[in-house]
Amino acid sequence: MARKEQIMKRMFKANPLVRIAGLAIVLLLLTGCGKGLVEKVKIGFVVKQPEEPWFQREWKFAEQAARKYGFELVKLEARDSERALAVIDTMAIQGVKGFVICTPDVRLGPQIVAKTQQKGMKVISVDDQFVKPDGTFMTDVPYLGIAARKIGEDVGTELFKEMQKRGWKPEETGACVITWNELDTTRERTEGAIDSLTKAGFPKERIFTAPQKTSDLEGAFNAGNILLTQQSQIKRWLIAGMNDSAVLGAVRAMESKGLGADAVIGIGINGTDCIGELAKPNPTGFLGSMLLQSRIHGFVTAEMMYKWVAEGVEPPKDTRTTGILITREDFKQVLTDQGLGDLVK
Ligand code: FCA
């Protein structure tokens, strides 16, 4: 051992180049410039409603991307605007290079972008697209969302088909559309459902919109209740809404008025937030849901951000995903095929 040390000492003395190189390595490590050599890239994933299974799935799939590419995923929730801006600071301090966000308020877009740029980070918006103060979209920020109108139209088409299958007359049926018009992606869904119902021949005057005050099941329940009190003469209903929670809330409101599976046909959107409902031993008024592709929303956005940060590959500015109908009969199989098998185990 002593001999080894002697040799080292002699080497250092003898070769100034070795000494300089050694000194440089020490300096690099001390100043943190060598960090990249040992530390993983950090990517953030911020969601507005972490209690919704939809957002939990996005996180889960983003984690798969983190494992595949070897980056670190920082998951954060932001239920309001203040928190959304605060988490950008948190991420900057943690050394996050870029993040994916479903913002609690799309009008916060310009502030999010300004803060992100100021911190030298990158941002991709998922699900809910940022808007400018004049209400138009911030199309320069990469966005991945759903083909909202088409998916809404499909809800309307399926509702109409099921109504016909049951032999209900449109003039004896009502359509309850729970709306959330704060967001374009949600407004387009319910507008699409209304469009396709009317195109199929459902009477326009029998379509009733009921706005949610809060974007959760309770908000939809209250909206549904108000409508049912106003239209108590209608005994058969179709239900559409922006997502599973919206339709489930209205289904619960119908049940509270004694209208069950034989009087109600509801179709949700997301497919992730209605598993318990579809698994119930007895059918309810909730017929099914348009299953969205949470894998693409979680995995692909995180992957895009990683490639942008680590390889300089710019993500596409606008990506849209589609949905497929799941019902009590096939949801277990379809979810398994879509990589969501753990939800139905
Ligand atoms: C919005 C809704 C979510 C989900 C997502 C794709 O953010 O709030 O429930 O439908 O779009």
Ligand 1 binding pocket includes 180 (Cβ within 6 Å) = no
For ligand 1, atom 1: residue with the closest CA: 127
Q: Separation of 3 CA from ligand 1 center, angstroms?
A: 68
Answer whether 105 contacts ligand 1 (Cβ < 6 A). Answer: no
Distance 148 CA to ligand 1 centre (A): 10
Q: How much is the pLDDT for 1?
A: 43
The stretches in the chain having pLDDT less than 50 are 1, 12, 32, 34-36
Rounded distance between C-alpha atoms, residue 78 and residue 127, angstroms: 14
pLDDT of residue 101: 98
Find the 280 Cα to ligand 1 centroid distance in Å.
24
Per-residue pLDDT at 345: 86
pLDDT digits (tens, 9 = 90+) for 1-22: 455 556 555 554 556 655 655 5
Give the closest residue (by CA) to ligand 1 atom 9: 243
pLDDT at 66: 98
Residue 196 Cα to ligand 1 midpoint, Å, equals: 21
Counting atoms of ligand 1 from 1, which one is nearest the CA of 245? 9
- Mutating to test ligand 1, I would choose from 45, 59, 100, 127 the residue with most ligand atoms within 8 A of its C-beta, which is 127
User: Which residues on neighbouring strands pair with residue 47, listed in sequence order?
Assistant: 77
Alpha-carbon separation of residue 201 from 21, 119, 148, 156, 169 (angstroms): 80, 54, 22, 11, 11
CA dist 232 and 1 (Å) reads 93
Among 243, 292, 297, which is best to mutate for testing ligand 1, by the most ligand atoms less than 8 A from CB? 243
Residue in 185, 290, 300 to alter for ligand 1 test, most ligand atoms within 8 A of Cβ:
185
φ/ψ bin of 70: left (φ > 0), alpha (ψ from -120 to 50), beta (otherwise): left
- Non-local (6+) Cβ contacts of 40 within 8 A are 70, 71, 72
Pick the closest to residue 44 from 82, 105, 101, 115 (CA basis). Answer: 101
52 Cβ closer than 6 Å to some ligand 1 atom:
yes
Compute, in angstroms, the gap from residue 321 CA to the centroid of ligand 1.
Answer: 12
Q: Are 342 and 132 in contact, with CB atoms under 8 Å apart? A: no
102 lines ligand 1 (CB under 6 A): yes
Q: How far apart are CA 278 and CA 301, in angstroms?
A: 29
Question: Is the CB of 191 inside a 6 Å radius of any atom of ligand 1?
Answer: no
Q: What is this structure's pTM?
A: 0.89
